[in-house]
Amino acid sequence: MIEERALVTSCKGDLAQIETLRTTACGHCQSSSACGTSLLSRFFGYRKISVSALNPIDARPGDEVVVGVRESLLMRASLLFYLLPILLLIFFAGLGQWITQHFSLVAAEPAAVVAGLLGLSIGLRVARRNALLMHNEKRNQAVILRQANPFKIEVRQ
């Protein structure tokens, strides 16, 4: 299970709306000051992400919790969102090239580019449709595992 800390912002039924910061692994190694990827992550900054998660521990708004996602779900989503569009782009570009050569058409390269973009578009649409289907299944949702800070200390000024 892949875990991340999050803040509960609201609750509705057995679901809780959680908010977490989008971070990268960059910036934690010794080369971060000279690395281009680390520079890009600092430039674009950290953004808050708000998602819904199953709430079996009955967390309340304001609670800091640990949220988990299954590794298999992350692997399947990565393959779907990254690999499928690229494979369809390459396949359709090759198909466009083959069709123009097979029928002795003059402009083989523009046809390959257009066909590749069509394949990429199809791949992205399929990925989006499957993401919407996957989102509605309870087994694919994030789960609040436990409280991150079970002992709250209030500081008064």
Average pLDDT, the chain: 83
Q: What are the pLDDT digits (tens) for 106-129?
A: 788 999 999 999 999 999 999 999
In the numeric block, which tokens belong to residue 87? Answer: 């494979």
Confidence of residue 139 (pLDDT cuts 50, 70, 90): confident
Q: Per-residue pLDDT for 156 more than 60?
A: no
Q: In this predicted structure, what is the pLDDT of residue 132?
A: 85
What pLDDT band is residue 134 in, cutting at 50, 70 and 90?
Answer: confident
- Asked if residue 37 has pLDDT above 70, the reply is no
Select from 36, 8, 42, 39 the least CA-distant residue to 23. Answer: 42
Residue 145 has what pLDDT?
A: 93
Higher pLDDT, 93 or 40: 93
- Four-point Cα dihedral 10, 11, 12, 13, nearest 10: 170
- The pTM score is 0.66
Instruction: Give the pLDDT band of residue 30 (cuts 50, 70, 90).
Output: low
- Domain residues of the chain, as ranges? 2-147
Q: Give me the pLDDT at residue 50, please.
A: 87
Tell me: pLDDT of 24 over 60: no
How far apart CA 59 and CA 44 sit, in angstroms, is 31
